[in-house]
Structure 1
């Protein structure tokens, strides 16, 4: 039976059961203390009681910090995820205790966040928060009945971007990045345009990963490791670069690259062209050069053809031109046969 006593103007509920730690909690009102006592005793009787002390005393911000140190730091492309975590830690949601991050609070945060950024961004943030809770429950012993993210609706991802540069825009962009104060920005952009590699893959590339003889580079990213071919432009670029003491091919941080690239795009007069759009542009150009699906997947690292299709823009006008060319070729063959 729970013991209720008044102490220093507050009401304290104490529960002592054999085989369980002594439970106590203080409330402003006696009825709240009695209600809490009944809840704890029912959970003990049903064998469902869990020690929620750590979940109640740890904020989501603290949990995110632990996750970044113990989990994110061991991932490929950790820099990008850590930036996202730091942004989440600055949000009001991070001030709540882990136990206090309910599905209702998450839904309110989601709706407010949707007024600031795209649905795709919010969905990625919720996926990250969900994995943080999963690790906390399964591996760190946080006593939570469920993962609150699993109880709310995630925003739908927006329509895949379809941004490809014209030759004039590509030249304008390369000229603009060439004027960046940080002289590593242009080589990174050129490498991205030539290889369709992701930003994290490029920034984590080391000189030991480059095989100048075979003209391939071993990149590591969210889909694992793979070898990508290096064009003559890439080979020439790599030969011209100085070697950094730390061994990285492009010794620049993700945040520095992000800010410098954004300013360069603004200077070039190109609207709405992100760094990730370079991957889209590169794969589209490779497809036009005649690379087939299997070859493109080897280069891009996509698991399926459907995922690859989001990154390749096929122009119907180009297809019409190819059909016309095939028709003319067939007619020429027929004429030769007649003669």
Structure 2
């Protein structure tokens, strides 16, 4: 966008696109406006920029190698799936020269996605894609400014309020063939056990599946977790385990020792996700995500411990996120206690 203003000797036009800023003074407003239009077109065409002719697809691949692939496996997998879908479903955008991508291009992507998914999903994807421009501008020198500044993204949605009910959990466990006194022998049963561990520890799926004889000290009721989602912020975590969780984990530990393996679980996070969805759908439990079990657990634990202890259990460094997102006790439940 060009900015025109009256000055002493005529009209001054200012143009800033792709990180390049140009100014000029012309005798009349019309001449200044014509200059601005021509200059802006030249910048967008690359005539004034000394940036490499790399495409968005190339930028994504470089970002994967430098950033995404260094994240925990479960997080990297989810990010890469979104990148794959972005490049596959929007080939024109993927093949466009990176520094020539404009706010209009991104607005078309936004509008197309809003016809298929919720605003919250679009916002989440945008938050993943925008850092590519930050790195490309500051380190790679592939562009001068980010076109994300030129578009309006959907407003953040309200946090989820769904929690699990014991009737739903029993149905899922029964469908999976789980007996909590007998170690799991199938992938479906392991999924049911992961569900129960989540309810009694408030841990994430990836953290649960990493449980092992070498990291879980059941005598001290502590799980040493060196790699996790917030590792870069808080370092290694030591997760306190509830007595109920320890009783469940003893069954898994005995099985792992008998079979000569270190890890308690043999399934991957991707398998757990697919099997949980299958169990949920065939038992007709509507809208319950596996991650909702973490919120359910934290809501139950909030009745037993103070907020600082709860944050230590969950690994949150932002108390507001813990309160606004994961504490899901209903107004009716609170009213019944006061």
Inter-CA distance 246–136: structure 2 relative to 1 (3 Å threshold): farther
Alignment match of 1:72 (pick from 68, 76, 101): 68
Q: Which moved more, 1:108-117 or 1:231-240?
A: 231-240
Match in the other structure for 1:233: 244
Does structure 1 retain, via aligned residues, the 8 Å contact 2:176–2:188?
Answer: no
Bigger Cα Rg: 1
Counterpart CA distance in 2 for 1:101 and 1:234 is 51
Alignment match of 1:213 (pick from 210, 213, 219): 219
| TM-score, normalised by the number of residues in structure 2 | 0.72
Match in the other structure for 1:254: 269
1:86-101 mapped onto 2 (5 Å cutoff): 86-92=84-90, 93-101=93-101
Inter-CA distance 153–267: structure 2 relative to 1 (3 Å threshold): same
Does structure 2 retain, via aligned residues, the 8 Å contact 1:178–1:185?
Answer: no
Does structure 2 retain, via aligned residues, the 8 Å contact 1:102–1:148?
Answer: yes
Helix, strand or coil: the match of 1:228?
A: strand
Counterpart CA distance in 2 for 1:154 and 1:305 is 26
Shift of 1:245: 8.3
Counterpart CA distance in 2 for 1:91 and 1:97 is 17
Match in the other structure for 1:299: 313
Inter-CA distance 82–170: structure 2 relative to 1 (3 Å threshold): same
Match in the other structure for 1:140: 140
Match in the other structure for 1:60: 56
Q: CA RMSD of the aligned region, Å? A: 2.8
Match in the other structure for 2:335: 320
Q: How many residues align?
A: 277
Does structure 2 retain, via aligned residues, the 8 Å contact 1:103–1:152?
Answer: yes
Counterpart CA distance in 2 for 1:175 and 1:124 is 35
Shift of 1:247: 5.1
| TM-score, normalised by the number of residues in structure 1 | 0.72
Matched, 1:270 2:285: yes
Counterpart CA distance in 1 for 2:204 and 2:51 is 41
Shift of 1:303: 2.2
Counterpart CA distance in 2 for 1:209 and 1:50 is 53
Counterpart CA distance in 2 for 1:205 and 1:101 is 45
Inter-CA distance 177–285: structure 2 relative to 1 (3 Å threshold): farther
Does structure 1 retain, via aligned residues, the 8 Å contact 2:99–2:144?
Answer: no
Shift of 1:268: 1.8
Counterpart CA distance in 1 for 2:61 and 2:337 is 55
Alignment match of 2:230 (pick from 223, 238, 246): 223
1:1-339 mapped onto 2 (5 Å cutoff): 39=42, 50-53=49-52, 56=53, 58-76=54-72, 77-92=75-90, 93-142=93-142, 144-178=143-177, 181-219=187-225, 220-224=227-231, 225-241=236-252, 242-243=255-256, 248-288=263-303, 290-309=304-323, 310-323=325-338
Counterpart CA distance in 1 for 2:308 and 2:172 is 30
Shift of 1:236: 3.3
Unaligned runs of 5+ in 2: 1-37, 179-185
Shift of 1:140: 2.3
Inter-CA distance 235–64: structure 2 relative to 1 (3 Å threshold): same
Helix, strand or coil: the match of 1:190?
A: helix
